[in-house]
Structure 1
Amino acid sequence: MTSSGPHWYLFDYGMVISTAPAPEDWRLLEQATGLRELAAGTSPYWERREDFDAGRLTPAQYWGSVLGRDPVPAEVEALEELDAAQWAHLNPRTLEVLETLHGEGANLALLSNMPEGMSRRYSTESSWAHYFSKLYFSGQMGLVKPDRRIFDRVVAGLGAAPEGIVFIDDNPQNISTARELGFHTVLHRSGTDLPAELAGRGR
């Protein structure tokens, strides 16, 4: 890279640092809600997830939309616990990359579509948050990827030019928007050799 200013690695969380929820996770959530096939993309779990990720719904409103009724506070708390647990499974290969980059003194930031409550939980309780000097979460920002405005805010927050940022994400739409803005990008898949993809970048 030849851009001026600091260089950053900007990581997504879900399906990059974390892995997909396990079948057992979905089963526990289905038991708690009395619903079936919540993992399916057309299920009530996903129907208003973007609004939840964007901070437009409270936990009670979101889980009410999933359940189809008003939940009591204890239900909301239990469902929030299950939801946080199912997205907390970590990808050891990505963690190795983070450990290496952190040890080299690289600038690491995170940008994730994530509800506010989950993001605050992970920020304080997770084993990975300490790798990052900047954490950006959609639920706290009121915007979700791939909205260009969320990338603009991150660029401003990092004090870097877009071409000084390597963005790693599993969603092609997010990657496309970032690339249009000038970011260097890595589309993360299950077989991605992340060390090879990042070799020579971000310096």
Structure 2
Amino acid sequence: MINMEEINQKPDLSNIKNIIFDFGNVLLNINPSLTAIAFKSLGIKDEADFFGGRSSLELMVKFERGQATSEEFIRAISAAVTGEINDQQIIDAWNALLLDFPPERIELLTTLGQKYRLFLLSNTNQIHYEAYMQDFQQHYGFSLDTLFEKLWFSHQIGLSKPDTTIFEYVLKDKSLIPEETLFIDDTLMHVEAARKTGMQAWHLLPGVEICDALS
């Protein structure tokens, strides 16, 4: 049984050599409700029903795992909209949830990188990936890649959280010892899945700033 007090409390880094970060709402601020509002303004009258429908959920999983293209995703959205819209409007609405990457988190990663091997593991998709990678480069003048030893994105490796196979994949890919590896995510089911592989895992609760917890 998962010890919820343990999974939610500040992690003990004394035996940790590797830290794997989730991206959204751990390092990059996001607000999914902004995308819901944007799609509603485009003409999807009940965005909750649309994105919660079986066919839409299946498409989302495929898109997240790189099994559906950006074009296929855009066509599916366009078909659900009442009225004329173009591809860029759909892309902008889809990206509305992407907010900022605070500079203090870059400072945190730079400091941690002097002591630990740092990695990024994110459930994402091609449209979001292109947007935040470009935005980060333009804002800070260097690539997000430089902050980590390796970045794993679900749409590039064909795997996604919370399947335990994705955690087994990253451990094997970089020859990481589970007991020496900490995974940080804001989604409980992802943290629970990571712990099943032997990793230490921390559930970052809403309102908890990772810089305060790891500084």
> Of 149, 170, 175, which residue of structure 1 is paired with 2:191?
175
Per-residue displacement from partner, 1:71-106 (whole Å, max 9, x unpaired)? xxx93344224423532333566445324323x353
> Is 1:164 aligned to 2:171, yes or no?
no
Aligned residues: 189
- The alignment yields a C-alpha RMSD, in angstroms, of 3.0
Structure 2, gaps ≥5 residues long: 1-13
What is the Cα deviation at residue 167 of structure 1? 0.4
> Is 1:111 aligned to 2:121, yes or no?
yes
1: distance between equivalents of 2:105 and 2:168?
A: 25
Aligned AA for 1:134? K
Further displaced range: 89-98 or 113-122: 89-98
Q: Where do residues 99-138 of structure 1 align in structure 2 (5 Å cutoff)? A: 99-102=110-113, 104-126=114-136, 127=140, 129=144, 130-138=146-154
Aligned AA for 2:166? I
- In structure 2, the residue matched to 1:44 is 51
1: distance between equivalents of 2:106 and 2:39?
A: 27
TM-score of the two chains, using structure 1 as the length reference = 0.75
- Contact 2:154/2:160 (8 A) holds in 1: yes
Per-residue displacement from partner, 1:143-162 (whole Å, max 9, x unpaired)? 11111221112112222111
- In structure 1, the residue matched to 2:159 is 143
What is the Cα deviation at residue 179 of structure 1? 0.5
What is the Cα deviation at residue 30 of structure 1? 3.1
Further displaced range: 60-69 or 190-199: 190-199
> Of 55, 59, 62, which residue of structure 1 is paired with 2:70?
59
Does the C-alpha gap of structure 1 residues 124 and 170 become closer, same or farther in structure 2, counting only changes over 3 Å?
same
Among all aligned residue pairs of Structure 1 and Structure 2, give the percentage whose two residues are the same amino acid: 24
TM-score of the two chains, using structure 2 as the length reference = 0.72
